[in-house]
Chain A
């Protein structure tokens, strides 16, 4: 069974940094693209970033480009996102999700982790 478990969320001040992790199990991690998708409280879903199975290709939403960095450690089956210069509008539940192929473009999300809450506030 595929399992995704996010961690690292919490309260951070505007301008601060946070690193989220997603521990994966139940599949050959390096063979699949992985993504981060977020959901602001009471709002809809927003794709944030995706990374190829081999880490060579990354994509970012314009809203986070230059501030967030996605990465993965295939030896530890773990996905990361480093979030810098955080803003109030980054407040959301952050979900990691598995793609259906190794390439990070044209991917759907299945399954999703349970998410970790990031709150940016002073």
Chain B
């Protein structure tokens, strides 16, 4: 299926466990992003990637690790989950734009709801 997918859609884990959230896009978009959505904060950028093997920190990167060995995949790992990482996580992708990336064509995945007990 064309588009951007996330797995799992729902995940419950315990404090201290490692969790990996997967993101896959079929458009070969250069840019990919991870956001978290929390009440009272809107969406906040965790990490982003301009291309394979190029990643950079966003607004709230602490406690998260990303990698991008292939253009189409951008996994997000919580190395030791904490309760404060309970959130809804969205992956997004977009093409290169006039400056850096094109905000109008940033497509979001359906989200992963993560609960850390």
- A and B are partners in one complex rather than unrelated chains: no
On B, residues with C-beta under 8 Å from A are none
